Amino acid sequence: MLQDLFTPSVQHALDLAGIFVFAISGALLAVRKNFDVFGIAVLAEVTALGGGVLRDLIIGAVPPAAFTDLGYFLTPLVAAALVFFLHPEVERIQTGVNVFDAAGLGLFCVTGTTKAYEHGLGLTASAALGVATAVGGGVLRDIIANEVPSLVRWDRDLYAVPAMVGTAMVALCIKFDALSAVTSGIAVVTAFVLRLLAMRYHWRAPRAWNRRSTAVEPGDTPGEFKATA
């Protein structure tokens, strides 16, 4: 199905572009955590390839593409080297990196869903695995860096939700036999734009209604009863 949507060369180029920008985000976090060169490379690889490896292992596409295509493995190392030597400059273009990261999110959630469906999963499971493909590397990155994963932090702009919207669109297109290069592109752009809007306007998921928490957060008073929707 992927072959019907994009030529192999285009698909490969899109994959490498997404891998590169995800690797940049991983390498930057490693620098902020004062990791050495090996740690920077590891975090870049895990962030870029983690979601795809997880997907391939679940659907039985083994060995995963990350281990059969040298370009997939080397691209995060190039990103890690770039950040290692030029991280102040890369930090200054963080907004641009975030834009490309959003593009990678949109691309991977769509290709992940499609590949999962190709390997026999149902529509719901394929959509879930599409989200995992898009966000899995970031979760592994944060765990290795000893951070609470951004995916579950209330003070982070929406990340998984745009991916969920993109995968849902792909699943509906498959159900109604409407999946094409055009509709796939629309799903990618929708997830991409939603992520950009979330970053621009700081959209966040609601926390529990009438929650009681002992956690002290900026602007909170310890022991304060706080209701949020």
Render pLDDT for 121-180 as a digit per residue (tens, 0 to 9).
999 999 999 999 999 999 999 999 999 998 888 888 999 999 999 999 999 999 999 998
72 and 49 Cβ atoms separated by less than 8 Å = yes
pLDDT at 210: 76
Does pLDDT of 190 surpass 60?
Answer: yes
Q: How far apart are CA 216 and CA 1, in angstroms?
A: 49
Average pLDDT over the chain, rounded to an integer:
87
Q: pLDDT-based confidence at 215, cuts 50/70/90?
A: low
Is the pTM higher than 0.75? The answer reads yes
Does pLDDT of 29 surpass 50?
Answer: yes
- In 3D space, the residue among 140, 153, 181 whose CA is nearest the CA of residue 44 turns out to be 140
61 and 115 Cβ atoms separated by less than 8 Å = yes
Does pLDDT of 226 surpass 50?
Answer: no
- In 3D space, the residue among 132, 163, 115 whose CA is nearest the CA of residue 4 turns out to be 115
